[in-house]
């Protein structure tokens, strides 16, 4: 015995089906885990874009604190890895902001922070942002000779399409040449047993004629030089740059600097250096 649906019943069933599909789609959109491209290893390409940026705790040449302005510079350049110097967490002078957390949210990147100095009720140090998940994060403090400010280095591993790359950011003594050399010696000692591709970004406070810079060249290549970049590489001060003190160094088989440039911006007292590095 067969039954035949009336036109009204058919329309009712169709409505029920449409409503059910809409509910299912809405459920999937709400609960399905979303992996952002910013930390996915599958977004890796053969060219790795690296930035080093002393953000002057987010204060620009106009003396105004503006982390969105810093984030906009980073977002526009689309780096894979960013080494930051002069970063505050909970410090009175920067309104108690957790600067690296805010920048990570604004840029949708993973982050790590190294606390080198207690200051105004909070912490001050170096940090990094990454479009890939940061692993095996390590912080090492430097001993110093005379400068009151403690400094250190931050290292992390990232998986670049199945290839492990170590990334380091640091900020050296701005007062004394021998202090910079002493810190560089410690940096090289800390990194001497690191295997595979290694990228070090730094505000060295040392120009290419300096002894700390020359010491780095005994173990690393300078990406500005190796990429035959145009210009002098001056990044400080941002309004009238006359010094080259911000660097991207690298070593390891398969790494080759392809292009380097200065990003013109007054969001900090430094301008960032951006380098495209080929990773084979």
Give how far the C-alpha of residue 139 lies from the chain's centroid of Cα atoms, to the nearest Å.
15
Asked if residues 180 and 173 have their Cβ atoms less than 8 Å apart, the reply is yes
Give the whole-angstrom CA distance, residue 56 versus residue 62: 12
Give the whole-angstrom CA distance, residue 210 versus residue 65: 32
The number of beta carbons lying within 10 Å of the beta carbon of residue 31 is 7
* Residue written as token pair 């430094």: 270
- pTM (predicted TM-score): 0.84
- Tell how strand 152-160 and strand 163-171 pair up: antiparallel
H runs (alpha helix) in the chain: 7-31, 67-77, 99-107, 177-191, 211-216, 223-226
- pLDDT by residue for the chain (280 residues), tens only, comes to 445 556 555 555 666 555 554 555 444 444 333 334 444 444 445 899 999 999 999 999 999 999 999 999 999 999 999 999 999 999 999 999 999 999 999 999 999 999 999 999 999 999 999 999 999 999 999 998 788 888 999 999 999 888 999 999 999 999 999 999 999 999 999 999 999 999 999 999 999 999 999 999 999 999 999 999 999 999 999 999 999 999 999 999 889 999 999 999 999 999 999 999 999 8
Backbone Cα Rg of the chain = 24
- Tell how strand 152-160 and strand 135-141 pair up: antiparallel
All domains of the chain in start order, with CATH: 37-279 (3.60.10.10)
Give how far the C-alpha of residue 53 lies from the chain's centroid of Cα atoms, to the nearest Å.
8
* Residue written as token pair 């957390």: 101
Give the whole-angstrom CA distance, residue 12 versus residue 18: 10
Q: Which of 139, 140, 93 is nearest to 112 (CA)?
A: 139
The two structure tokens encoding residue 79: 């780096």
């Amino acid at each position: 015995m067969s039954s035949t649906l009336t036109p009204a019943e058919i329309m009712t069933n169709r409505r029920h089906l449409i409503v059910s599909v809409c509910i299912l789609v809405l459920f999937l959109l709400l609960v399905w885990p979303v992996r952002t491209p910013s930390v996915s290893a599958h977004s890796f390409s053969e060219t790795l874009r690296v930035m080093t940026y002393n953000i002057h705790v987010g204060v620009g040449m106009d003396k105004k604190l503006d982390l969105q302005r810093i984030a906009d510079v980073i977002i526009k350049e689309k780096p894979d890895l960013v080494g930051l110097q002069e970063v505050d967490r909970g410090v009175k002078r920067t309104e108690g902001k957790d600067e690296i957390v805010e920048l990570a949210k604004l840029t949708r990147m993973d982050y790590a922070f190294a606390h080198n100095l207690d200051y105004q009720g909070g912490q001050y140090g170096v940090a990094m942002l990454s479009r890939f998940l940061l692993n095996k994060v390590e912080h090492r403090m430097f001993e110093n000779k005379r400068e009151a400010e403690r400094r250190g280095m931050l290292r992390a591993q990232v998986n670049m399409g199945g290839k492990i790359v170590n990334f380091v950011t640091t900020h050296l003594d701005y007062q004394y040449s021998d202090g910079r050399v002493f810190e560089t010696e410690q940096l090289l000692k800390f990194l001497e047993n690191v295997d595979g591709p290694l990228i070090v970004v730094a505000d060295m406070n040392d120009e290419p004629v300096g002894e700390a810079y020359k010491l780095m060249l005994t173990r690393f290549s300078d990406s500005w030089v190796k990429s035959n970049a145009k210009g002098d590489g001056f990044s400080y001060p941002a309004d009238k740059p006359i010094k080259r003190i911000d660097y991207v160094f690298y070593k390891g088989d398969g790494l080759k600097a392809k292009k380097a440039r200065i990003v013109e911006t007054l969001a900090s007292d430094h301008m960032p250096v951006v380098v495209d590095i080929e990773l084979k």
